[in-house]
Amino acid sequence: MKTDRRSIFKKILLGTAGLLGLSATHASASANSKEDDEIKTGDVVYDQEVPLFSGSQVYGGLVYIAGKGAHFEGDIKAHTDHVLKELQSELEKAGSSMDRVLKVNVYLNDLKDYKEMNEVFRGRFGKNPPVRTTIAAAGGIPGDSLVEIDCIAALKKK
């Protein structure tokens, strides 16, 4: 029974590997790697000495970066530039880079800032920009940031 489950799981993994752009060899190796099963957490934020959320998580060849904001006086361009630099720093610390980002979520305090945010955002992720969702957050963004951005990226190849 256990072998059947593993076999089914392996077939599912190999079948979806193509959707993720992975070779069958890589997917098979990943299925057997204990390192891929390990969750690596970075920069845990505490609330009253209780873990609230993590700044980043690494799992299965991907890095997940929590939303970054800019908590200072400034316009949308200054905030966007600051947030993108924070993302870049977190990605590099976790073993990835801006050109390995697959998915970005952008949360604007006000949709009127969309054009100016894009002026700063444009070109920051290399020749193959990530897929992106952009929304204006009802009620604003915590910490009075004009923008918050989170992302998912692939780790750099070893």
**Segment 69-121, tens digit of pLDDT:** 999 999 999 999 999 999 999 999 999 999 999 999 999 999 999 999 999 99
Residue 62 phi, psi (nearest 5): -125, 155
Do 6 and 55 reside in the same domain of the chain?
no
> Is pLDDT above 80 for 128?
yes
Are 107 and 95 in contact by the 8 Å Cβ rule? The answer is no
Do 19 and 53 reside in the same domain of the chain?
no
Do 46 and 94 reside in the same domain of the chain?
yes
Do 92 and 140 reside in the same domain of the chain?
yes
Q: Among the ranges 27-31, 48-52, 56-60, which has the highest mean pLDDT value?
A: 56-60
Do 26 and 62 reside in the same domain of the chain?
no
Q: What's the pLDDT score for residue 38?
A: 74
Q: Which range (37-41, 49-53, 137-141, 144-148) has the least confidence?
A: 49-53
pTM of the model: 0.72
Report the mean per-residue pLDDT for the chain: 81
User: At 100, which CATH number?
Assistant: 3.30.1330.40
Q: Considering its fold, how many domains does the chain have in total?
A: 2
Q: Average pLDDT for residues 2-22, to the nearest whole number?
A: 47
Q: Which domain covers residue 88, as residue numbers?
A: 38-154
Token duo for residue 152: 């998912």
Q: Average pLDDT for residues 122-130, to the nearest whole number?
A: 95
Do 42 and 100 reside in the same domain of the chain?
yes
